[in-house]
Amino acid sequence: MVEPFKRPKRKNPIVPTRQPTLPPSVRSRVALGLTAAAARGRFKLQVCEDCGAVQYPPREVCRTCLSHRLVWRTHDGRGELLTDTVLHIPQELFFRERSPWRIGMVRLDGGVNVVAHVHNAVDPAPCRVRVEASLDRAGEAALVVMPEKRRLYLSDDPRLREMTCDPRLRKILVTDGKSAVGQATVRALAAAGADLIWIGRAEPWKKVAGFEALRELPQATIVPLDVTDGRSVRELAGEIGGKVDILINTADCHRTFGIGTRRGVETAQLEMDVNYFGLLRLAQEFAPALKARAADGPTGAIAWVNVLSIFALANYPAHGTYSASKAAAYSLSQALRADLQHAGVRVINIFPGPIDDEWDQLELPPKLSPNALAAAMIAALKGSVEDVYPGDVAQDWLARHLDDPKALERELAQGGR
Ligand SMILES: [Zn+2]
């Protein structure tokens, strides 16, 4: 059964905010392979290269032949739900606060059994199912049993909804609503049922096509925000910081320059000021407020989204200074993620390839449309991934980067993409 969202009750201001509890998060180093795959939306299990046996739980040596040659391979998650039950008094505090909680045991095709959370749309056992690896609020992999054929979101089940950052009925700040990506993001959030969208606007005297039309959205409120100005960020955080459930940083400065194509460092400084220092200013002013409200359940702070670039993984010399600023922002976002993770606030990074906007005009297709980027962002919020690589170019770069970062660097140096 798919349960619709209900508007949460307003928080009683006299009741103190709860301390956040998180699902148990201690994992062995080898088990982090499961989490690393889940962070990109994949379900991987170890497979023995010598005898082919699939392994679960993750381990150091093969369960049948004791070989050390275990590799992580994608599993389609299909299997049979053998049994399921509902826990009324779970042992862990996190689940006890949210009981009753449905769990079950699945025999995966490949012959291993897993115990997993069960989506409430799954029929009673026995039945065919699909297991997905999702990130829980502690940022660790958790296995969830989904119906085999129906494509459902985690957020369709009110208990599993906490694993997601579904924007429905949420209050969201989009830091720059003027860019093409910013406008697409605002529209996608409105369509996804956001309750309130604050749209940041720097340099209000500059007119941008399409921006004024955003005012017609009933959820939209335009607020002054210039991420290059510490006072502007501080003032907005003082005004709305305690209400923001999801912060989406779309502020981006992109000038197409390599090292030798322009004298001086002013352009590069501007890129750093928006892409790196802008993120730092936002993090310093907004992150404490988000952390403080992380335990408020349906009215709490849940996510922080950064629109980075696939150029953050490896420098693309034609966009050399921009790549460097995005790499800096990527690095900082990892520190932000570590900081917010303890409270259960998820940091989602998006790594698009060239976007179909004014600064990538000279790039050859394929290019990612701002609408496709926004759709990928909404899907990430409704699911549980934390790193998103939307579009063919980003997927291709990621595959090459994972295969051999040095080979990718060489290829890009020769002008390849
Ligand atoms: Zn083996």
If you measure from the C-alpha of residue 115 to the centroid of ligand 1, how many angstroms do you get, rounded to a whole number? 22
Report the separation in Å between the CA atom of 112 and the middle of ligand 1, taken as the mean of its atom positions: 13
Kindly state the helix (H) or strand (E) to which residue 350 belongs, with its residue range.
strand 346-350
- Collapsed DSSP state (helix, strand, coil) of residue 201: strand
Ligand 1 mean position to 57 CA, how many Å? 14
Q: How far is the CA of 127 from the centre of ligand 1 (A)?
A: 29
Question: Tokens standing for 49?
Answer: 């290269």
Ligand 1 centroid to residue 46 C-alpha, Å: 10
For residue 9, what are the contacts with CB-CB under 8 A and spacing of at least 6?
299
What local confidence, expressed as pLDDT, does residue 21 receive? Answer: 72
Strands 101-108 and 78-87: antiparallel
Residue 110 Cα, ligand 1 centroid: separation in angstroms? 13
Q: What is the distance in A from the centroid of ligand 1 to the CA of 25? A: 28
Ligand 1 centroid from CA 65, angstroms: 4
Query: Sign of dihedral through CA atoms 194, 196, 200, 201?
Result: positive
What residue ranges in 233-301 does DSSP mark as E strands? 246-249
Residue among 407, 199, 161, 202 at smallest CA distance from 303: 161
Q: Digits of tens for pLDDT over the chain (417 positions)?
A: 566 777 777 777 777 666 667 777 767 788 888 999 998 889 999 999 999 999 999 999 999 999 999 999 999 999 999 999 999 998 888 888 888 999 999 999 988 999 999 999 999 989 999 999 998 888 889 999 999 988 888 888 888 888 889 999 999 999 999 999 999 999 999 999 999 999 999 988 888 888 999 999 999 999 999 999 999 999 999 999 999 999 999 999 988 778 877 788 888 999 999 999 999 999 999 999 999 888 776 778 999 999 999 999 999 998 899 999 999 999 999 999 999 988 889 999 999 999 887 766 767 778 899 999 999 999 999 988 899 999 999 999 999 999 999 999 998 888 766
C-alpha distances (whole Å) from 100 to each of 160, 196, 204 are: 12, 31, 51
Q: What is the DSSP string of 233-252?
A: HHHHHHHHTTT-SEEEE---
> How do strand 78-87 and strand 70-74 relate by DSSP bridges?
unpaired
CA of 68 from ligand 1 middle (Å) equals: 8
Query: What is the separation, in whole angstroms, between the first and last Cα of the chain?
Result: 45
pLDDT of res. 121: 92
Could you tell me which of 338, 267, 350, 363 has the C-alpha nearest to residue 313?
Answer: 350
- DSSP secondary structure string for all residues of 15-33: SPPPPP--------TTTHH
Bond before 13 cis per omega within 30 degrees: no
Q: How far is the CA of 64 from the centre of ligand 1 (A)?
A: 5
**Backbone dihedral angles phi then psi of residue 402, each to the nearest 5 degrees:** -70, -30
